[in-house]
């Protein structure tokens, strides 16, 4: 579920989800839309703590993306748990959905995102052991 919303400045908001989100995508979508307040240009979705993600997650993610784009907000992927990354890779959505912060320099000001080599992960130890 939505566990954190952080305004990173420059129109970027980071939303963190955790746990099993299956069957809760309406609630998640509502939380994402609510997080994208006036002045938000980019919403970065942090899925590093999501423990279960399947086709309902894919459909929910795409529906949320479509609704946010209708509001003029770009949805980008932040850190992903191994299960989320595996599902998005299998569905080829890792190629379609942009990743990481959209603001130049934000990776250096928010130590939770950039690895400096084009990959995106948390710099503190997370599920994939990056950090």
- Convert the pLDDT of each residue in 45-104 to its tens digit: 999 999 999 888 888 889 899 999 999 999 999 999 999 999 999 999 999 899 986 544
What are the backbone dihedrals phi and psi of residue 108, each rounded to the nearest 5 degrees, phi first? -80, -25
Q: Starting at the earlier edge strand, list the strands of the sheet with 2-9.
A: 2-9, 12-20, 42-52, 74-80
- How confident is the model at residue 81, as a pLDDT? 94
Count of alpha carbons within 13 Å of 72, Cβ hemisphere only?
Answer: 6
Domain ranges within the chain, ordered by starting residue: 2-109
CATH architecture of 2-109: 2-Layer Sandwich (3.30)
Burial (CB < 10 A; 0-12, 13-18, 19+), residue 84, is: buried
Is the pLDDT at 29 greater than 60? The verdict is: yes
Joined together, the tokens standing for residue 25 give: 């995508």
Could you tell me the pTM of the whole model? 0.73
Is the pLDDT at 126 greater than 80? The verdict is: no
């Amino acid at each position: 579920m939505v566990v954190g919303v952080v305004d990173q400045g420059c129109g970027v908001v980071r939303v963190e989800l955790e746990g099993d989100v299956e069957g809760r995508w309406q609630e998640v979508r509502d939380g994402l839309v609510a997080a994208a307040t006036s002045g938000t240009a980019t919403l970065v979705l942090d899925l590093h703590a999501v423990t279960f993600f399947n086709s309902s997650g894919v459909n929910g993610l795409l529906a949320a993306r479509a609704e946010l784009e209708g509001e003029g907000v770009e949805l980008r992927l932040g850190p992903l748990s191994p299960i989320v990354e595996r599902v998005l890779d299998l569905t080829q959505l890792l190629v379609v959905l942009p990743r990481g912060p959209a603001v130049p320099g934000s990776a250096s000001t928010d130590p939770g995102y950039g690895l400096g080599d084009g990959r995106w992960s948390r710099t503190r130890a997370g599920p994939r052991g990056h950090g």
